[in-house]
């Protein structure tokens, strides 16, 4: 497979200062990109929901990697579905159009696992993406991001614009978002256990009944996969990025409690939502198309994340 030389490329990374973005920038540099040619637009300077801002940031860029998103866990998705739909759709749609009109060579769009139908045969295959409506709590976010896949395919068909679309599974790792109002399940649980330990609690309340399954991809693995696709994948079909390993929320909570040495009782709040019943990705396309295979062991990745939070999270 042909590999794109990043050395002389001017690369825009939206969301490049975020949790995944910092790892993507590091992976770009490791793959030969010139740090001086990587641009990271900050949200305080550029509101990417504005077309003017999108037009400004894509000028003179060769590659755009679009990671910026308004995103959170079940709580935020229930509280602000309109904001999540509008912000993610407008950011992506306008950025893609501005990039095409500015002559950008390639657009890499990072989508979301939330785009898959609520009931999808496990493991999720990319070809099943349109076979049903997403899980209700995160459907507005998932559909907004999935619309960008349609846009990229349409721009490729009409304009010959080279845009690719990646679907990473739930991410985790050091420097994740541990804010309880917007964090995803792993950082939320780590913080919850830590705070229970600080207070000396003997119980740990957890949303749902523990039966749903999830798959998690360590942030450095995700970043490596994104850069590999940037260099070596040029097709219109979406590609999953994951580990192809499934764990139930119950098993996850028990593992985090074990690693953090919390031996209190877990209280399942069954009146709270479970979210999607199962999530596990078929990862064959990424391996076949650009050789990506996840490397970080889940237990070790969790331990790294817990250690980072204990050191930096307060």
Annotated domain spans of the chain: 11-171+216-245+278-295
- Tens digits of residue pLDDT in 269-291: 999 888 778 889 999 999 999 99
- Beta-bridge partners for 13: 65
Rounded alpha-carbon distances, angstroms, from residue 219 to 38, 92, 196, 243, 297: 19, 22, 26, 12, 12
Give the ranges where the chain is alpha helix by DSSP (H).
19-30, 51-58, 74-79, 81-101, 139-159, 185-199, 219-232, 249-260, 284-290, 298-312
What the block records as the tokens of 268 is 């399942």
List binding-site positions: 15-21, 145, 168-171, 184, 192, 207, 214
Residues of the chain with pLDDT under 70: 1, 314
What residues have CB less than 8 Å from 154, skipping those under 6 apart?
Answer: none
- Tens digits of residue pLDDT in 88-111: 999 999 999 999 999 999 999 999
d(CA 105, CA 287): 24
Rounded alpha-carbon distances, angstroms, from residue 259 to 50, 174, 303: 44, 15, 7
List binding-site positions for substrate: 192, 207, 214
The predicted structure's pLDDT at residue 78: 85
The predicted structure's pLDDT at residue 70: 85
d(CA 222, CA 225): 5
Residue closest to 211 by CA, chosen among 178, 256, 172, 246: 246
d(CA 214, CA 279): 5
d(CA 20, CA 25): 9
* Residue of 100, 116, 141, 165 with catalytic role: 141
Residue 233 designated active-site = no
At residue 141, φ and ψ (nearest 5 deg) are -65, -50
CA atoms within 13 A on the CB side of 132: 14
At residue 2, φ and ψ (nearest 5 deg) are -70, 140
The predicted structure's pLDDT at residue 314: 63
At residue 300, φ and ψ (nearest 5 deg) are -65, -40
The predicted structure's pLDDT at residue 75: 75
For residue 251, give the 3-state DSSP assignment.
helix
11-171+216-245+278-295 belongs to which homologous superfamily? Answer: NAD(P)-binding Rossmann-like Domain (3.40.50.720)
d(CA 94, CA 87): 11
d(CA 96, CA 73): 26
């Amino acid at each position: 497979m042909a590999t794109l030389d990043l050395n002389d490329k001017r690369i825009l990374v939206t969301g490049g200062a975020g949790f995944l973005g910092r790892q993507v920038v590091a992976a770009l540099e490791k793959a030969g990109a010139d740090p001086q040619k990587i641009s990271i637009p900050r949200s305080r300077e550029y509101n990417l929901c504005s077309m003017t801002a999108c037009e400004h940031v894509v000028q003179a860029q060769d590659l755009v990697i679009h990671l910026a998103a308004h995103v959170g866990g079940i709580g935020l998705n229930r509280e602000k579905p309109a904001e999540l739909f509008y912000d993610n759709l407008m950011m992506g749609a306008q950025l893609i159009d501005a990039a095409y009109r500015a002559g950008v060579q390639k657009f890499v769009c990072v989508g979301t696992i939330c785009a898959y139908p609520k009931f999808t045969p496990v493991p999720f295959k990319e070809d099943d993406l349109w076979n049903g409506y997403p899980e209700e709590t995160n459907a507005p976010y998932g559909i907004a991001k999935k619309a960008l896949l349609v846009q990229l395919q349409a721009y490729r068909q009409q304009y010959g614009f080279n845009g690719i679309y990646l679907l990473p599974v739930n991410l985790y790792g050091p420097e994740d978002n541990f804010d309880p109002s917007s964090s995803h399940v792993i950082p939320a649980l780590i913080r919850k256990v830590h705070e229970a330990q600080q207070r000396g609690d003997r119980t740990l309340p957890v949303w749902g009944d523990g039966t749903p399954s999830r798959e998690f991809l360590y942030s450095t693995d995700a970043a490596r996969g994104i850069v590999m696709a940037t260099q070596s994948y040029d097709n219109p079909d979406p590609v999953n990025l994951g580990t192809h390993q499934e764990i139930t929320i119950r098993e996850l909570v028990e593992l985090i409690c074990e690693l953090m040495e919390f031996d209190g009782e877990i209280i399942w709040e069954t009146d709270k939502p479970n979210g999607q019943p199962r999530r596990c990705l078929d990862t064959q396309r990424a391996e076949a198309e650009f050789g990506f295979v996840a490397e970080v062991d889940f237990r070790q990745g969790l331990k790294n994340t817990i250690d980072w939070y204990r050191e930096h999270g307060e």
